[in-house]
C-alpha cells in the first residue's frame, strides 16, 4: 500500500495509474478525461451565450439605420432593398421580444420578397445580414425542391437546415430567419392551374404555404428520404421570418404590358415618357409576380415586395474596390499571405469594369474577369521566393483576357 501513488484527480478521484494523463495544478490534479469533459461544457456554455435571444440580455437591439449602415460596408447601392430588409429584420427582433401574455395585440411577421436581375446582390445582402444576426440564419435554394415522393428535396428540408444551424435547438430555430434563393424557379409553367403534375413548380409553392404562414411542421432531422425511420422533430414556423429572392428573368415584359394598359387617351405620350425603360423592375407589383407564375396564395404570404436596381458602370467600379470584402481586396490578401504586395494600375480597374458592362456579367462576373487576368500570376508567383511585389498593368490585363476564351465569360 505504501508504494502506491497518492496522486489522484480532484474531480473523479481516479489515481494516475487509472488514467492516461494526470495534470497537476496549484492545489490538485485533473485527469485527461475530466479535462475533455470540462472543455466540452465550456464550449456549450460559450455557444449558448453567443446565441442569446434578441429579446435579451447583453445584446443591444440594432435599429434599422444601424442594420443599413452595416450592409453599406459590404454592399454597394441598393438603398431601397436595404431599407426594406433592415425594417423587416428589426421588426422580427421586436416580435421575438414581445410578451404575448402581456398584450392582446399580436404582431404578425412580414415575410419579404426581393426581385432583381442576376448579379445585383440579392444573395450577398442575405449573406451579409447573416453576419449581424444573433438568430439562426440559413440560405436554401428553391431549385432543388420538389413535391414529396419525387426525386429532389422535400420542402421540410428547409427547416432541417435551420435546425442544423441552431444545433438542433428547436426553440432557437423557431426564432430564425430563412432566405429562399431562386424563388422564381418554382413558378408554374403556365398561367392556368396545373392539369398534370408540376412537381418542381406549383406543387412546391403549395407546399411552402404552410411554412410561410406559420404552422407546426414535422421535420426530419437528417433529411426525410434517406432515413425513413428517424424520429420527426415538430417545428413551429410562426416566428420564422422568410426572405425570398429571385431574378424573375423576363418579368420586365409583364411589367411593360401592365403599364401600357394604363396609358390610354390624350396623355398617352406624356405618361409613357415618364417611364424609365432601362429599369422596369422599379415598377414591379404583386400582379406581375402572379403573371410570371407565382400563385396568389404565396404572394399574399410575402407582403413586403422590393426590387434591386440593375448595376450601372459607377456601381460596378465601386463594387470592385470599395466594400470590405471587395474582389480586389481579396486578391491583395491572397498575395499578402505569400509575402507579396499586389498592386493594380488604375487603368486596369476601368478595363475590368468596361468588360463587365460589355458582356453584361453583373457583379458576379467581375470576379470571373479578375480571375482570368490573375490566373497565370497566381500559378507562377508562389514558386518565386525572391518576388515580394507585383503590379498588374493594363497591357498585361489585355493580354491575359485576349488569351482567354471570352465566350466562357459571356455564359457566366
Res 2: pLDDT: 45
Strands 177-181 and 216-219: unpaired
pLDDT > 70 fraction of the chain, expressed in percent and rounded: 83
Res 145: pLDDT: 83
Q: Does the pLDDT at position 54 exceed 50?
A: no
- Specify the range with the lowest mean pLDDT, choosing from 43-57, 89-103, 161-175, 219-233: 43-57
For residues 222-245, one letter each, b for 16 or more C-beta atoms within 10 angstroms of the residue's C-beta and e for the rest, the string is eebeeeeeeeebebebebbbbbbb
- Alpha-helix runs per DSSP H in 152-195: 157-165, 170-173
Res 407: pLDDT: 47
- Specify the range with the lowest mean pLDDT, choosing from 1-5, 105-109, 302-306: 1-5
Q: Does the pLDDT at position 401 exceed 90?
A: no
Under 8 Å CB-to-CB from 158, ≥6 apart: which residues?
138, 140, 145, 178, 180, 211
Res 83: pLDDT: 93
Q: Which three cell numbers stand for residue 18?
A: 487509472
Residue predicted with more confidence, 10 or 61: 10
pLDDT band at 3 (very low <50, low <70, confident <90, very high): very low
Per-residue pLDDT, averaged over 54-77, amounts to 78
pLDDT band at 370 (very low <50, low <70, confident <90, very high): very high
Res 197: pLDDT: 59
Q: 115 near 310, Cβ under 8 Å?
A: no
Res 55: pLDDT: 42
Residue 342 phi, psi dihedral angles, 5° rounding: -100, 130
What would the pLDDT profile of 243-294 be if each residue is shown by its tens digit? Answer: 999 989 888 888 888 887 554 555 555 555 577 777 788 889 999 999 888 9
Nearest to 257 by CA among 239, 270, 275, 233: 275
What would the pLDDT profile of 286-305 be if each residue is shown by its tens digit? Answer: 999 998 889 999 999 999 99
Instruction: For residue 395, count CB atoms less than 10 angstroms from its CB and return exposed for 0-12, middle for 13-18, buried for 19 or more.
Output: exposed
Q: Does the pLDDT at position 41 exceed 60?
A: yes
Res 64: pLDDT: 92
Res 57: pLDDT: 46
Q: 204 near 155, Cβ under 8 Å?
A: yes
DSSP state of 115: E
Query: In 10 A of CB 15, how many CB atoms?
Result: 15
Q: Does the pLDDT at position 181 exceed 80?
A: yes
Q: Which domains does the chain have, with CATH numbers?
A: 1-50 (no CATH), 64-307 (3.40.50.300), 313-410 (1.10.8.60)
Res 129: pLDDT: 85
Q: Does the pLDDT at position 365 exceed 80?
A: yes
Mean pLDDT of the chain: 82
Per-residue pLDDT, averaged over 207-225, amounts to 81
Q: 412 near 365, Cβ under 8 Å?
A: yes
Q: State the Cα angle at 241 between 139 and 282, rounded to 5°.
A: 80
Q: Does the pLDDT at position 372 exceed 80?
A: yes
Res 25: pLDDT: 84
Amino acid at each position: 500500500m505504501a508504494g502506491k501513488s497518492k496522486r489522484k484527480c480532484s474531480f473523479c478521484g481516479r489515481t494516475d495509474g487509472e488514467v492516461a494523463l494526470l495534470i497537476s495544478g496549484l492545489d490538485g490534479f485533473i485527469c485527461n478525461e475530466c479535462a475533455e469533459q470540462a472543455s466540452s461544457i465550456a464550449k456549450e456554455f460559450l455557444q449558448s451565450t453567443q446565441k442569446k435571444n434578441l429579446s435579451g440580455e447583453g445584446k443591444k437591439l440594432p435599429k434599422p439605420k444601424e442594420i443599413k449602415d452595416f450592409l453599406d460596408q459590404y454592399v454597394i447601392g441598393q438603398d431601397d432593398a436595404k431599407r426594406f430588409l433592415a425594417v423587416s429584420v428589426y421588426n422580427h427582433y421586436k416580435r421575438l421580444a414581445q410578451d404575448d401574455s402581456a398584450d392582446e395585440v399580436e404582431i404578425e411577421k412580414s415575410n419579404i420578397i426581393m426581385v432583381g436581375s442576376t448579379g445585383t446582390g440579392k444573395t450577398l445582402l442575405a449573406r451579409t445580414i447573416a453576419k449581424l444576426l444573433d438568430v439562426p440564419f440559413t440560405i436554401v435554394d428553391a431549385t432543388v425542391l420538389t413535391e414529396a415522393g419525387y426525386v429532389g428535396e422535400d420542402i421540410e428540408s428547409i427547416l432541417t437546415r435551420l435546425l442544423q444551424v441552431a444545433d438542433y435547438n428547436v426553440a432557437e430555430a423557431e426564432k430564425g430567419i430563412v432566405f429562399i434563393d431562386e424563388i422564381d424557379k418554382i413558378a408554374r409553367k403556365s398561367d392556368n392551374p396545373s392539369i398534370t403534375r408540376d412537381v418542381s413548380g406549383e406543387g412546391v409553392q403549395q407546399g411552402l404555404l404552410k411554412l410561410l404562414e406559420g404552422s407546426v411542421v414535422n421535420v426530419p432531422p437528417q433529411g426525410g428520404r434517406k432515413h425513413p425511420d428517424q424520429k420527426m422533430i415538430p417545428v413551429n414556423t410562426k416566428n420564422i421570418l422568410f426572405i425570398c429572392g429571385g431574378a424573375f428573368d423576363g418579368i420586365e415584359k409583364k411589367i411593360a404590358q401592365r403599364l401600357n394598359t394604363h396609358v390610354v387617351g390624350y396623355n398617352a405620350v406624356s405618361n409613357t415618357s415618364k417611364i424609365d425603360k432601362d429599369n422596369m423592375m422599379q415598377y414591379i407589383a404583386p400582379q406581375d409576380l402572379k403573371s410570371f407564375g407565382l400563385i396568389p396564395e404565396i404572394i399574399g404570404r410575402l407582403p413586403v415586395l422590393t426590387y434591386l436596381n440593375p448595376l450601372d458602370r459607377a456601381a460596378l467600379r465601386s463594387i470592385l474596390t470599395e466594400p470590405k470584402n471587395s474582389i480586389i481586396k481579396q486578391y491583395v490578401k491572397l498575395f499578402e499571405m505569400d509575402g507579396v504586395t499586389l498592386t493594380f494600375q488604375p487603368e486596369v480597374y476601368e478595363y475590368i469594369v468596361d468588360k463587365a458592362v460589355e458582356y453584361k456579367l453583373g457583379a458576379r462576373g467581375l470576379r470571373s474577369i479578375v480571375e482570368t487576368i490573375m490566373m497565370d500570376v497566381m500559378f507562377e508567383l508562389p514558386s518565386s521566393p525572391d518576388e515580394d511585389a507585383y503590379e498588374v498593368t493594363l497591357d498585361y490585363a489585355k493580354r491575359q483576357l485576349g488569351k482567354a476564351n471570352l465566350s466562357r465569360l459571356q455564359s457566366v
